[in-house]
Copies of this chain bind each other. A is one copy, B any other.
Amino acid sequence: MPVNAAGRNIPDEIAGRPIVPYQGAFATTPSGRRVGGPRKTIRPGQSKSTASLEEAIRKAGVESGMTLSFHHAFRNGDLLVCQVVDACARLGIRDLRLFPTALFPCHEPLLEHVKSGVVNRIEGSLNGPLGAYASRGGGFTEPPVLRSHGGRWRAIASGDVHVDVAFVAASCADSYGNATGIQGPNACGPIGFSAIDAQCADHVVVATDHLATYPALPPEIEQGYVDQVVALDRVGDPAGIVTGTLRIPRSPTQLRIAQLAVDAVKGAGLVKDGMSFQAGAGGVSLAATDFLARDMARRGVHGSFAIGGTTRFLVNMLREGLIGAILNGQAFDTEAVDSLRTNPQHHPITPGFYADYDSLGCATYMLDFAFLGGTEVDLAFNVNVNTHSDGQLLHGIGGHQDVAAGAGVTVITIPTLRGRIPTIREQVTTVSTPGEVVDLVVTERGVAVNPTRPDLADDLRRAGVPVCTLEELRAGSERLVGQAKHPALGEEVVAVIQWRDGTVLDVVRKVEGWT
């Protein structure tokens, strides 16, 4: 069993196919050409309207064993995936591979279809119950493959994953297949995640609950790639896009971490005119964004752009002129969707633009700094975002790898304890993002600086930011709560964590209990 460049033991092959172990964040060079979709033509006047999902599935030629793809712009409000798989089940189709960008707790009903064999493989983020199910082992004929946003785009464009039929939930579409998530009464935010599916899949079905007059603008998915349009009662509930409370947290620990994170990037000289950053929608990120905005306003600093998982906090920064543009991959509240509709400087982007390793540069490569979270960090600065310390697979990678690899300074914000579970560990349970692309780990008890960045350590010390080592943080937690427990893991690989270039960064193994 080879050890990869992240120090992880990786099987030689998975599900009977050889794998390429992770070789370093930018070690591989792609070759060959991107794949293209099938060349098709239609005549003027030819209708694409299909009356029902079942009919669409029949017309698309879905057969047992095929791969069906979906986006997750509705997040926990998605109503399409289950409808499609239900319909496939009614049609007697089996052994499907689902290839969503991500599944959420709302997709728990899929478990019945997994158990009955309608679905036997899933590649995509498994947030919640499906991830927990995978952790128990034996649930799928091949272990789920988890990829970052950019990694999934690359997998399709490179031909690694062939999509037979792409299903695209659209809050607004016209009868010719132009589709968007930015318009319509149930607007959910950009659906450009599916753009690569639409371009490369053998067949494309747009499903919408709001048929608009032609042309539906902006066409995030373009008519020329769409075979069928099916109108459904509902394809998603935008209430589900809201992640967490979307409020500044009151927890002193979280507020202290957020303040230290801002102090750190200030200390590193990064908060200045023209700066760019990414911040997510977790409590600490929101608080950090808020502290950052206040500091910028006070000092008259004008940033160039921010990338988000966008919330009203970023929208307000754009409105106030603190940043010049938002590049928006996902919307996390309705204010973000409204702003996308009305402000030309708030621009929807695809994962290809944002994060594709096989491209001549991503938006994340232009970031000065980024605030990211994690469930665990280890002494080599490796970050786990996928599993909990009990070994359960409960989260996807999202853009974590893509942002960490791209940002000039990657800041992981993490409390040293979650309940009585220490987060700074000898070794993370799962490596989701390798330490070589992590610069700072900010906790309530101090900031650890990756030894590869002595420049940053000097800057932070000069700025009075409390610098410490990860070992100090780990030992401190141990003094408080005792030695960290570890899950007992079996041999069975229950999920594969790909690095954004398609190599295997780590595997998740079956959870058998606690040690």
- Using a CB–CB cutoff of 8 Å, the interface residues on chain A facing chain B are 26, 28-46, 48, 157-158, 176-177, 204, 213-215, 217-219, 222-227, 274, 276, 304-305, 324-325, 327, 341-342, 344-345, 347, 352-353, 356-366, 405-408, 501
Residues of chain B lying within 8 A (CB to CB) of residue A45: 365
Q: How far is the CA of A26 from the CA of B342 in the complex (A)?
A: 40
Let me know if B44 and A39 touch, CB within 8 A.
no
CB pair A226–B360 under 8 Å, yes or no, is yes
Is the CB–CB distance between A327 and B40 below 8 Å? Answer: no
Q: In the complex, what's the smallest C-beta–C-beta distance from A198 to chain B, in angstroms?
A: 10
21 A/B residue pairs, CB under 8 Å, sorted by A: A30-B39, A31-B39, A33-B36, A33-B37, A34-B37, A34-B38, A36-B157, A39-B157, A40-B359, A40-B360, A44-B366, A213-B274, A215-B325, A215-B347, A218-B347, A219-B353, A222-B352, A223-B353, A227-B360, A342-B344, A344-B344
Task: Find A41's partner among B157, B274, B358 (CB 8 Å cutoff).
Answer: B358
Q: Closest residue of chain B to A358, judged by CB? A: B39
A339 to chain B minimum Cβ distance, whole angstroms, is 12
Given the interface pairs A35-B33, A360-B225, A408-B44, the reply to whether A366 lies near B218 with Cβ below 8 Å is no
Q: Which of A35, A158, A215, A364 has the most CB of B within 10 A?
A: A215
List the 6 shortest-distance A-B pairs measured between CB atoms, nearest first: A34-B36, A224-B359, A30-B39, A44-B365, A39-B358, A33-B36
Asked whether, in the complex, the Cβ of B344 is within 8 Å of the Cβ of A48, the reply is no
Interface SS of chain A: loop
A407 contact set on B, CB distance < 8 A: 44
CB-CB < 8 A to A341: which residues of B? 344
Give complex CA distance A222, B362 in Å: 10
User: Chain copies in the assembly?
Assistant: 2
Nearest CB in chain B to that of A276: its residue: B214
Contact A345–B217 (Cβ < 8 Å): yes
Which residues of B have CB within 8 Å of A26? Answer: 41, 43
Q: Which residues of B are found within 8 Å of A325, using beta-carbon distances?
A: 215, 217
Distance between Cα atoms of A157 and B34 in the complex (Å): 12
Q: Given A215-B305, A325-B217, does the pair A30, B34 have CB atoms closer than 8 Å?
A: no
Q: 13 extra interchain contacts, Cβ-Cβ under 8 A, other than A44-B364, A176-B361?
A: A42-B365, A44-B361, A44-B366, A44-B408, A213-B274, A214-B276, A215-B325, A215-B366, A222-B353, A223-B360, A223-B362, A224-B352, A225-B359
Closest Cβ neighbor of A44 among chain B residues: B365
Complex contact B176–A366 (CB within 8 A): yes
Asked if B42 and A360 sit within 8 Å, CB to CB, the answer is yes
Assembly CA distance A363 to B26 (angstroms): 41
Taking CB atoms, residues of chain B closer than 8 Å to A38 are 32-34
**How far, in whole Å, are A16 and B401 apart by their CA atoms in the complex?**
52
- Indicate if the CB atoms of A177 and B361 lie closer than 8 Å: yes
**A31 contacts across to B, CB distance below 8 A:** 39
Could you tell me the distance between the alpha carbons of A354 and B406 in the complex, rounded to whole angstroms?
35
Q: How far is the CA of A87 from the CA of B292 in the complex (A)?
A: 48
* Residue among A214, A227, A362 with the highest chain B CB neighbour number at 10 A: A214
| B363 adjacent to A215 (CB under 8 Å) | yes
**Chain B positions within 8 Å of A222 at CB level:** 352-353
Q: How far is the CA of A212 from the CA of B224 in the complex (A)?
A: 32
B residues less than 8 Å from A177 (CB atoms)? 360-361
A356 cross-chain contacts in B, Cβ below 8 A: 224
**CB neighbours of A40 from chain B (8 A):** 30, 358-360
Q: Which residues of B contact A366 (CB under 8 A)?
A: 44, 176, 214-215
CA A305 – CA B361 in complex, angstroms?
36
Contact of A158 among B34, B39, B48 (CB under 8 A): B39
User: Of all chain B residues, which has the CB nearest A159?
Assistant: B36
Contact of A32 with B43 at beta-carbon distance under 8 Å, contacts A176-B366, A325-B217, A353-B222 already known? no
The CA-CA distance from A353 to B157 in the complex, in Å, is 20
Question: How far does the Cβ of A160 sit from chain B's closest Cβ, in whole Å?
Answer: 11
Chain B residues with Cβ below 8 Å from A176 are 361, 365-366
Which residues of chain B have C-beta atoms less than 8 A from A223's C-beta?
353, 359-363
B214 touches A304 (CB 8 A): yes
User: Are A347 and B225 closer than 8 Å at their CB atoms?
Assistant: no
- Chain B, Cβ-Cβ closest to A37: B34
> Which residues of the other chain, B, contact A364 by a CB distance below 8 angstroms?
44
A276 / chain B contacts, CB cutoff of 8 Å? 214
Residues of B contacting A37 with CB < 8 Å? Answer: 33-34
Give the chain B neighbours of A204 by CB distance below 8 A: 360
Give the nearest-CB partner of A214 in chain B: B366
- B215 contacts A41, CB within 8 Å? no
Contact A360 B29 (CB under 8 A): no
Most buried by B among A29, A325, A360: A360
- Contacts of A218 on B, CB cut-off 8 Å? 344, 347
